[in-house]
A and B are shown apart, each in its own frame.
Chain A
């Protein structure tokens, strides 16, 4: 069962605010009517924080380092040298192969999310340099249908990998996705095989693949390329797993323990290499890329030497 949990996620957010408004709260309602867009309540420490202060701080809570969501573009600008990169395969569009319609037409949903995000689908393929080393980064955009993977996302990942193989360039993904996109049905499921197969080609070519997981990475994305990184690391507290929390709770008939499926839980269970603070992410990449660098000064020492 793969879930595109963006619908759930949306309602979670509203739920969170609703919960705050309940009269049980010690603080009176009046105090909570914070002008939207200027102040936000931190999900980590529940403090009310000046939004500008968060934005100045890599979108982290200045009190508790809670990592707020950032969009794919902002993410990329934090990773590349001087925040500069070139996007490719930008014009690729979904075609609605199933003529899918739920309460809305899939085609209309696509348009709606395109206007919200300024992207044509849930991923940005980019190339540029990190500490002067060329890299390709595919960053997923959660605000586009929950970062769900369907034909366009799969094809763009595979093409990015092909570019890496052709140019001997390290490959990096930043996942942020509820999983496979229901609206493209079986085609979305097949993207799991398509992207995983391409990772196989990348491995065969001896090119490093660094998989960065952010909140959330679940379903068909975690169960394919995202979990196949040579190095896998996550932002603190990111939700990472296969099944959605609600599905598990319904299946087992009990509430999940706190911290379940969070990055720290995955680290403890041996599923990821490390947890990296957003402020350290670029530096961590630089260190890793340096390690994997194939240039002459980094080639293995001749045998019999130490």
Chain B
């Protein structure tokens, strides 16, 4: 298990509590009282911390190495998943996965960024940072879904599109632009869920949708706090502060009407109770899918267009 800075205090306290638990049976009321006090303190500390997470702590939770990833959700929520590979042009990009599956007996197309568990898998999955072929595979699968009238569900979890030589040679910018463009007019319902990191254009390339859901401790941002700090503050150690300035938390995004629903996580984060978060996510997906599946496609498309058409804040003084 990996541990974040602010998770450490609980682990230390848990060790103390466990030791005392053993002692409590041998020693009298005094120890038992102390044990209860410690346990109460732990619960309070835990709740206090997780009820008042800073944007930076949420960023850390969104990137937690134990956080459930796309394939975890797919195996828990859906049945009969068949993974489909390749963009039919260049390669198969393991940073994005996709395939057919069933939800309540109905066919759906699932697509998502996939981070790796551990160093070896992370290297093969490129830490969830897609190359153009990953985005083009995603687009191929979306088009397939469109032809067979299957709704598309995307899972977003990426630090961003991969900044590499090959990526630029093969048109990273075009691949992202093309996905955004095509998702805007895709003639099937689209639901996107930000399950971890929503890193900029690489996230948006799977994120144009009719309903955008986000887990409580997930983030979505135009730039990572570290990179933003390096450019604007000339100091990447300012990232914790910048995380606040960028308004990248689920709560901020909800306030700005970027996301439609925040899926509440178990206290401590999704990795502390996977069954619970998967269950909640399933219910949310089913509920939204039922609703948008009833909307005639032309109406759904015009709502989708209008949603993005309306984003932005400006004023127009008349002179």
Contact = CB atoms under 8 A, between A and B. Distances in A.
A8 to B, nearest CB: 7
Given A2-B200, A191-B312, A223-B177, A260 B223 contact: no
Among A186, A191, A225, max chain B CB count under 10 A is at A186
A269 B201 contact: no
Contacts of A222: 173, 177
A223 B201 contact: yes
Contacts of A226: 173, 177
Interface stretch (A75-83, A91-99, A135-143): A91-99
Nearest to B238: A102
Contacts of B161: 1, 223, 242-243
A249 to B, nearest CB: 9
Contacts of B202: 1
Interface stretch (B30-38, B59-67, B241-249): B241-249
A93 B256 contact: no
A194 B178 CA distance: 13
Nearest to B177: A227
A271 interface: yes
Contact of B168 (A7, A261, A270): A261
Given A7-B231, A91-B317, A199-B181, A189 B168 contact: no
B222 A155 contact: no
A214 interface: no
Q: How large is the interface on B (under 10, 10 to 19, 20 to 34, 35 or more residues)?
A: 35 or more
Contact of B169 (A184, A197, A269): A269
Given A98-B247, A196-B181, A243 B163 contact: yes
Given A103-B233, A242-B163, A3 B227 contact: yes
A160 interface: no
A265 B170 CA distance: 11
A194 B316 contact: no
Interface in B200-239: 200-202, 204, 208, 220-224, 227-228, 231-233
A75 to B, nearest CB: 22
A245 to B, nearest CB: 9
Interface residues on A, range: 35 or more
Contact of A1 (B170, B227, B246, B308): B227
A98 B245 contact: yes
Contact of A223 (B173, B208, B227): B173
B90 to A, nearest CB: 12
B197 to A, nearest CB: 11
Given A1-B200, A2-B223, A248-B163, A197 B177 contact: no
Contacts of A92: 314-316
A186 B201 contact: no
B199 interface: yes
Given A98-B246, A186-B248, A187-B256, A93 B315 contact: yes
B181 A228 contact: yes
Interface in B144-174: 159-165, 167-174
Nearest to A156: B314
A193 interface: yes
B314 A252 contact: no
A154 interface: yes
Contacts of B200: 1-2, 180, 189, 220
B285 interface: no
A200 interface: yes
A247 B228 CA distance: 12
Interface in A231-283: 240-244, 247-248, 251-252, 256-257, 260-261, 265, 269-271
Nearest to A104: B232
A252 B165 contact: yes
B256 A193 contact: no
A154 B202 CA distance: 19
- Determine which residue in B180, B245, B256, B305 has the highest number of CB atoms from chain A within 10 A of its CB, and name it: B180
What 5 A-B pairs have minimum CB-CB distances, sorted nearest first?
A: A243-B163, A151-B312, A190-B311, A222-B173, A102-B232
Given A93-B315, A223-B176, A241-B172, 7 more contacts: A1-B227, A94-B314, A182-B223, A186-B246, A199-B181, A223-B174, A247-B227
Interface of A: 1-5, 7-8, 89, 91-95, 97-98, 100-103, 150-152, 154-155, 158, 180-182, 184-194, 196-201, 218-220, 222-228, 240-244, 247-248, 251-252, 256-257, 260-261, 265, 269-271
Interface of B: 159-165, 167-174, 176-178, 180-181, 184-185, 199-202, 204, 208, 220-224, 227-228, 231-233, 242, 245-248, 253, 256, 258, 305, 308-309, 311-319
